[in-house]
Amino acid sequence: MYGLTRGAITLIGAAAAGFLIWLSVQIDGTTLGDYWSVVGLLAAAGLVVALSQLLGGWTKWGWPRLSGSVFVLAFLPVFVAVGWILLAYQPDSNWLSRHVASWSKDLHLVGIMSDLARSLNVLAFGLGLVFGLVFDTTGPRTEPLFRRRDRPAAALPGAHPLESAPPPPASERSEPPRAVTNVDEPPLADERRDS
């Protein structure tokens, strides 16, 4: 049943992502708004693919949660790198894109950025996918196998009358345990006073 559910949800997620990709290629303008619309649709397609795995029982039907470590260690660096490239290669040269391009030249990043800029659509899809991977589940809630008893075993209904309660832990004993001595050795001075 789990495999069928996950397969069906993955298919639905892939179909939704395909629809979003199809929508992105229907936008044929070269304006700044069209550029960011395409980027947003492709990022949403990547997000849908990641969330389909989460909703499909990827981690066995637990409660969804945001993973802080994945957000900080994975998503934020990807967001900065991909966002930097997307800002630098906007179709309309504006103040922000000119500054990002200038800073990239100063940091000697122009070569790698121009190589990656050939795949802006893939970068946008990947950004959405990585953002979707930030979400995780806690796993199913299960009952513990053994529960601590609040009452001694003899006090439980149906317990055998000859059964005794377990001895109290060492920290709750009233007198300290005595050391076992060898029979052949004479008793210590403290033990002689006690007897």
- Residue range 107-131, pLDDT digits in tens: 999 899 999 989 999 999 999 999 9
47 phi-psi bin (left φ>0, alpha ψ -120 to 50, beta other): alpha
Best-predicted range by mean pLDDT (40-49, 60-69, 161-170): 40-49
Class of residue 53 by CB neighbours under 10 A (exposed 0-12, middle 13-18, buried 19+): middle
- pLDDT in the model for residue 66: 86
Helices 120-132 and 32-55, packing angle to 10 deg: 40
The residue to which tokens 């990585």 are assigned? 130
Question: pTM (2 decimals)?
Answer: 0.66
Top-confidence residue, 24 or 167: 24
pLDDT band per the 50, 70, 90 thresholds, residue 141: low
